[in-house]
Amino acid sequence: FGFVREVESLGINYGQVANNLPAPEKVLELLRSLKVTKARIYDTNPQVLSAFANSNVEIIVTVENDMLATLTDPNQSLQWVSTRIRPFFPATRITGIAVGNEVFTGDDNTLVTYLVPAMVSIHAALVRLGLDQYIHVSTPNSLAVLQESFPPSAGSFRPELNVIMLQFLQFLAATRGPFWINAYPYFAYKDSPNKIPIDYVLFNPNSGMVDPNTKLHYDNMLYAQVDAVIIAMAKMGYGGIEVRVSETGWPSRGDATEIGANLQNAAIYNHNLMRRQYLNEGTPLRPSMKLEIYVFALFNEDMKPGPTSERNYGLFQPDGTMAYNVGLTALSTTSSSSSSSTSSASISLTSNSTKMKLKRIIDSDHLMIEKDTYTNVQVTM
């Protein structure tokens, strides 16, 4: 895939749980060729941060879960920011610090008590160093933080998280940080393939669903999941916090029990997702606010534990070749910047029940896409 112009609301997760990945400098070249200007890493790897210096790529770094207890100490947080962040900024465009990953729903319950204090300490360190206006602090959350997510108007957090969730939302409101959610419609489909229409989870044309309470129409599950989080926050008095998707994707391979994990579905999901991002869409609940999404992931990672799907979320193989074609051919840096010729192409992606055609005309300045039309009804919260 590749875009003629940069897509402001699209980022990609650059995971590194593999022993065969290209050097960070090569990764930067790949991102530039794709005109992707946002990336997230799962640590503060100095090689990556150095390689991304003086580029136009914004990067979110991560505090590993096992560091949370230490970083509740303000002095330790100041040292961490001073050594892990400050030496690289602003040459490297660090825009966010993800404190932990899916802490609220992890196996180690003690980490939950450390999360908000660590975030407070890290933010205080950023303030002390004059970096808080450039770098936000938040944490990515699993969709499992929700007790209810369907319909979106029923969105609510798990009761046992209410106390700590309130503290977290207070922090985000005070610092204007986003609520990050890892949302994977694939998991919902895998668990209930006979109940959930495949086209609804793949962004393919479908009749969708109407929330009986808000009367909003949803033509895909991802937007419904995001709006469920927005409504859950609103019920706790924090309806104004921005929700962003820190991870979403679809595996191109899976075990026999992982229904739907295949090349065809992965290509359709990511292709349709990127098409919607190119249009800077919002969700039905917030149609005028473009939804920022980070695709998972840039590469297949051969050392990730778990089922086969875990090692096959990448858009690319470690050697830089596409794991599958999402419909738009990657443009090299040279050709995208120097070519003024016009080309056209028509591609077809087929699911079990629909056939969708996307026509594109590419020149040096424009990408025109036939867009499915649907109606959004806005409600105010």
Instruction: State yes or no: cis peptide before 90, omega within 30 of 0.
Output: yes
State whether residue 100 is helix, strand or coil.
coil
- For residue 360, what pLDDT is reported? 28
Instruction: Calculate the alpha carbon distances from 350 to 100, 264, 369 in Å.
Output: 38, 8, 18
Model pLDDT, residue 341: 27
Asked if 102 is an active-site residue, the reply is yes
**pLDDT of res. 278:** 87
Catalytic residue among 6, 247, 258, 301: 247
Structure tokens, 303: 């050392």
CB 297 within 8 A of CB 14: yes
Average confidence (pLDDT) over 140-153: 97
For residues 137 and 338, the model is more confident at 137
- The pLDDT > 90 percentage for the chain reads 78
Spell out where the chain has E strands: 10-13, 38-40, 58-63, 93-99, 136-138, 140-142, 146-148, 156-157, 179-182, 209-210, 217-218, 243-248, 293-295, 343-350, 355-362, 367-369
- The structural architecture, per CATH, of the domain 10-40+139-330 is Alpha-Beta Barrel (3.20)
Closest CA to 311 of 251, 246, 267: 251
Average pLDDT over every residue of 22-45? 95
Q: Which DSSP category does 212 fall into?
A: T
Q: What is the pLDDT of residues 307-330, one digit of tens each?
A: 999 999 999 999 889 998 876 443
Q: What is the pLDDT of residues 303-312, one digit of tens each?
A: 999 999 999 9
Residue 229 has pLDDT above 50, yes or no: yes
Is residue 347 pLDDT above 60, yes or no? no
Least confident of 78-82, 163-167, 350-354: 350-354
Query: Global pTM?
Result: 0.85
Token pair listed for 273: 């997702």
Q: How confident is the model at residue 2 (pLDDT cuts 50, 70, 90)?
A: low
* The one catalytic residue among 58, 102, 160, 242: 102
pLDDT tens, 250-284? Answer: 999 999 999 999 999 999 999 999 999 988 899 99
